[in-house]
Structure 1
């Protein structure tokens, strides 16, 4: 229904589902709601909430795995430096035929810039020191065993990244499935209500929905949060307002504006604002609206652009 669209944003979807479940608790028995009951709605909500949490954990694991890989690669770079110093002590700093079996690429004694080539060089040096143990130096940290251990540490870290990313991909798919399931329940309950509730029945609002025949303006946005970003931008967010279908983001630059400016319109709960100057003091407020009109403005918040 035009006055009660199904939200696209998953955060708004979850917030609406919570209100709809409360409406079901009050009215599902007398109205004869059979398919999308309070229990069913809460279960779908819980499924998406759990999937969101799991995805957040998988993202954290991916970040940690990449940090561990970077640390292992840094240690590998240090070991290559030690090995280079050992070989240079034996055969000189410049490339010559004695460097050929070490595995340093492109007839250069330089340590490769890219991680895969550094990994290959560690393996080659492991083979070299195995074949020429007399060239090893425990004191200088240049041995076949040390090269093997570092090579293993990096490949293990790479495998951990691959596994973490695979689990994250699964978590994205699980969240998408859970979001789709919740959206179907929300849409299903709206459709069910169109059958059991007259279009002018006030009980629509008990479900967090607009009365189709007489939509009222939404509730006000309760608060606004803003933070500074690079290039004099502002990241602005706010909580869901019941019955809102869109939001206007208004700004007032202190000492510049004489009235509030309509800076952006959004369906979601966050926008990035730009076009400011460093040092400007900006007031921000949000106005929720729907087919029934505008809600009163949210509380104002103030921030200095950096």
Structure 2
């Protein structure tokens, strides 16, 4: 494909797809293009990016993937919080049972759910799975020994079979929800990756066909956002650079790749330390970079220079951010 390699990085691939779709709209009938046309590219791009104006609106696979990722994070957080509540209850229950069952492991502790493999002990189980089973056993044990219960409303934390069973069921529900969310996130990611791969294969097919339809020095290559094979020019500058905090001493830089770019130089300047911009690294063409090991409280300037092989854009977007 000469110097029109199709990028792997998501942002660059989507930008290339949009440019080629726009170019196909202009040239597909005059060339004419037969293998890949604008409608082929628009169909894949819409499946990925969505179409809010459509009736009904199309939620793209990229949005669905992010939505599934957020749902998984929320479900995992719910499970974690519920498990913390269960652990606190089991700790209170153990404290309440110590004067009755003694400090040493025993068959009674085992009946109460506090027998942990491989070390035989009566400690609160160290795993979430262990705590789930302990709650179930404890609910049965307290049902058989109601005088061991501590009712709600007193000076000590409630320890009852009813609460043990309720917490068991709640934790089980949270675990099921988290597992379902994980499966949904995996399905969404698989679908997005398949669509991105389809877009990449379609763009490769388009470039292959263009090599048959256009001379290597024809300027119409650039109408499709591609290099003129015999005379590649520097890419258009990147745009829309935004900087956000990514934790202590870290900044996430995100930008829109420039037309015909296949990589980017990332330049940074720590105000008051660096006299000018200095090289931080290259992005690999994915339109984002996590900039690490920055001094907290410092003002950092970032500049992005789009690359097309060894050719550089004449300018690039700049932004600055105060590091957390």
TM (norm. structure 1) is 0.88
Per-residue deviation at 1:21?
A: 0.7
Query: Structure 1's 283 and 102: CA in aligned 2 closer, same or farther, altered over 3 A?
Result: closer
Identify which of 144, 148, 155 aligns with 1:131. 144
Deviation at 1:200, TM superposition (A): 1.3
Q: Mind listing any 5+ residue stretches in structure 1 that lack a counterpart?
A: none
> What is the 5 A alignment of 1:144-183?
144-183=161-200
Q: In the alignment, which residue of structure 2 is the partner of 1:293?
A: 311
Q: Which whole-Å CA distance do the structure 1 matches of 2:162 and 2:96 have between them? A: 15
| Conserved? CA contact 1:216–1:292, under 8 Å | no
Aligned: 1:201 with 2:214: no
2:40 corresponds to which residue? 40
Q: 1:98 to 1:182 in 2, by over 3 A?
A: closer
Match of 1:53 in 2: 63
Listed one character per residue, the Cα deviations across residues 168-223 of structure 1 (whole Å, up to 9, x for unaligned) are 22222111211111111111111111111111111111111111111111111223
Distance change (3 Å), C-alpha of 1:122 and 1:300: same
Number of the residue aligned with 1:303: 321
Instruction: Pick the aligned partner of 2:75 from 65, 89, 92.
Output: 65
Identify which range, 224-233 or 262-271, moves more after superposition: 224-233
Q: How many positions carry a matched residue from both structures?
A: 305
Find the residue that maps to 1:224 and give its secondary structure: strand
Compared with structure 1, are the counterparts of its residues 10 and 229 closer, same or farther at alpha carbon in structure 2 (3 Å cutoff)? closer
Higher share of residues assigned helix: 1
For 2:21, the equivalent position in structure 1 comes to 21
- Quote how far apart the aligned CAs of 1:24 are: 0.9
1 CA distance for matches of 2:105 and 2:195?
62
- Say which of 242, 249, 257 aligns to 1:232: 249
- 2 CA distance for matches of 1:199 and 1:127? 80
Q: Distance in 2 between matches of 1:280 and 1:261?
A: 16
Deviation at 1:23, TM superposition (A): 0.7
Cα distance between partner residues in 2 of 1:273 and 1:196: 43
SS class of match (1:166): helix
The alignment yields a C-alpha RMSD, in angstroms, of 2.5
Partner of 2:54: none
* 5+ long unaligned stretches in structure 2: 50-59
